[in-house]
């Protein structure tokens, strides 16, 4: 791709090497397995461990913490490549990358001891913020963590926990001060083998199969106070800060899926003949592809711009929200157009674009819905221009 070629000139040698590793893995392992992961809806543990073996979970983590010592920009490049092969595996990749960074930035020396396990895939992490009655309004969560001596007692139910069925540890966001709104939330690490942790029902999802999502309930689960990550009552801001990075991950994931759909659409439009010629010869098809190419290139630039700012330790609430909103919306539209270019075949599971169409839809919903992204953008630009 021309846009890729231009951007590649700005990659460091190390970034190009990591990208090549991710692309090789994606083409040889992820893409061939993607249809089976979707069909069987089982957690792809072997593939997860292969990513760990390649050191990819530590891509954005400093070397002193056991990581590869690269940056958010490289994590975005890797994510795009992985999601190009399998959106679900791309999604799975984000979880340990984000968890290791979260533990590193906010955890104590004791919490840091978990990082090697997260990086080698032997400790599977999950994050539980959302509840059955509370998603976008994080400050309204009802799960409580009551202090009793040197323990917290956690009670409540979390919904939609990605990796919930397979997680060894869950970072649970709970109210430690029920009266204090967003200033009363803490993050507490809960080992899932503790009495009272109940892994519940998994939903039948439209797409992104294989991620072991489920409800997790906490029935008076006792954990030592040492399991508190970050300051007591200070987790809301930690979560919001974390969203900046995770939104770049989700944007890159949607970007990789859009890239895959465009590649498929171009190939299909050359193979498929109607009215005596390849359908690519029809301007209607070419214009759909032209718009895909334009928006994919623009999304890549938005993401990489935000990632570079993040790596330069600049605030990116605006840029991360813009990248997430633009990329996930454009990916949904263009993957739908790629499906259209496949005609009836696009509606069949025999073609990858059908899965991409289902998988990408989630990216507009989680890590803050796209309505929430618009609210963030509107607030940020209001601050800039009033």
Ligand X SMILES: Cc1cc2nc3c(=O)[nH]c(=O)nc-3n(C[C@H](O)[C@H](O)[C@H](O)COP(=O)(O)OP(=O)(O)OC[C@H]3O[C@@H](n4cnc5c(N)ncnc54)[C@H](O)[C@@H]3O)c2cc1C
**Residue closer to ligand X (CB basis): 335 or 372:** 372
Q: Is 274 in the site for ligand X (CB under 6 A)?
A: no
Question: Which positions from 148 to 167 touch ligand X by CB under 6 A, shown as an x/- string?
Answer: ------------xxx-----
Can you list the pairs that 381-385 forms with residues at least 24 positions away whose Cβ atoms lie under 8 Å? 381/318
Q: Is 369 in the site for ligand X (CB under 6 A)?
A: yes
State in angstroms the smallest separation of the CB of 240 from ligand X. 13
Q: Is 87 in the site for ligand X (CB under 6 A)?
A: no
Contact with ligand X (CB under 6 A): which of 45, 234, 366, 380? 366
327 neighbors 352 (Cβ within 8 angstroms)? no
Can you list the pairs that 143-146 forms with residues at least 24 positions away whose Cβ atoms lie under 8 Å? 143/172, 143/173, 143/174, 143/175, 143/218, 144/174, 144/175, 144/176, 144/178, 145/172, 145/174, 145/175, 145/176, 145/186, 145/188, 146/176
Question: Which positions from 11 to 40 touch ligand X by CB under 6 A, shown as an x/- string?
Answer: ------------------------------
Work out the end-to-end distance of the chain between its first and last CA atoms, rounded to an integer number of angstroms.
41
Query: Shortest Cβ contact with ligand X: which residue?
Result: 135
Verify whether residue 232 is a known catalytic residue: no
Q: Is 255 in the site for ligand X (CB under 6 A)?
A: no
Question: Which positions from 99 to 138 touch ligand X by CB under 6 A, shown as an x/- string?
Answer: ----------------------------xxxx----xx--
Q: What DSSP string describes 16-32?
A: HHHHHHHHHHIIIIIHH
CA dihedral 173, 153, 110, 73 (to 10 degrees): -10
Q: Is 208 in the site for ligand X (CB under 6 A)?
A: yes
Contact with ligand X (CB under 6 A): which of 49, 365, 378, 381? 365
Q: Is 68 in the site for ligand X (CB under 6 A)?
A: no
Residue 89 CB burial class (10 angstroms; 0-12, 13-18, ≥19): buried
Q: Which residues are catalytic?
A: 367
Question: Which residues contact ligand X (rule: CB under 6 A)?
Answer: 127-130, 135-136, 160-162, 205, 208, 213, 362, 365-366, 369, 371-372, 375
């Amino acid at each position: 791709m021309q846009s890729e070629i231009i951007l590649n000139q700005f990659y460091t040698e190390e970034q190009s090497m990591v990208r090549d590793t991710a692309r090789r893995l994606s083409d040889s392992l992820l893409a061939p397995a993607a249809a089976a992961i979707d069909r069987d809806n089982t957690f792809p543990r072997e593939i997860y461990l292969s990513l760990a073996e390649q050191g990819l979970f530590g891509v954005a983590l400093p070397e002193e913490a056991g990581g590869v010592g690269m940056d958010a920009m490289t994590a975005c490049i890797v994510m795009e490549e992985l999601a190009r092969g399998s959106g679900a595996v791309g999604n799975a990749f984000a979880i340990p990358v984000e968890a290791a960074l979260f533990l590193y930035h906010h955890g104590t020396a004791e919490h840091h001891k978990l990082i090697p396990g997260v990086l080698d895939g032997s400790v599977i992490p999950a994050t539980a913020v959302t509840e059955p009655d509370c998603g976008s309004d994080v400050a309204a969560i009802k799960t409580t963590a009551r202090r009793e001596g040197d323990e917290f007692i956690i009670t409540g139910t979390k919904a939609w926990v990605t990796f919930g069925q397979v997680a060894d540890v869950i970072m649970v966001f709970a109210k430690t001060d029920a009266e204090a709104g967003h200033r009363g939330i803490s993050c507490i690490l809960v080992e899932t083998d503790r009495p009272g942790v109940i892994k519940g029902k998994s939903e039948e999802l439209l797409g992104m199969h294989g991620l072991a999502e489920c409800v997790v309930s906490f029935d008076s689960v006792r954990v030592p106070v040492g399991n508190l990550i970050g300051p007591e009552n200070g987790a809301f801001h930690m979560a919001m800060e974390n969203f900046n990075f995770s939104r770049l991950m989700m944007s890159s994931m949607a970007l990789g899926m859009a890239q895959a759909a465009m590649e498929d659409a171009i190939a299909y439009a050359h193979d498929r003949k109607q009215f005596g010629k390849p359908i690519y010869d029809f301007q209607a098809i070419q214009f759909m592809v032209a718009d895909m190419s334009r928006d994919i290139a623009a999304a890549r630039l938005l993401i990489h711009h935000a990632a570079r700012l993040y790596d330069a330790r600049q605030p990116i609430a605006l840029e991360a929200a813009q990248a997430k909103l633009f990329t996930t919306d454009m990916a949904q539209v263009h993957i739908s157009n790629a499906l259209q270019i496949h005609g009836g075949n696009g509606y069949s599971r025999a073609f990858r674009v059908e899965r991409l169409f289902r998988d990408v839809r989630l990216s507009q919903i989680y890590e803050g819905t796209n309505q929430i992204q618009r609210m963030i953008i509107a607030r940020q630009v209001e601050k800039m221009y009033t």
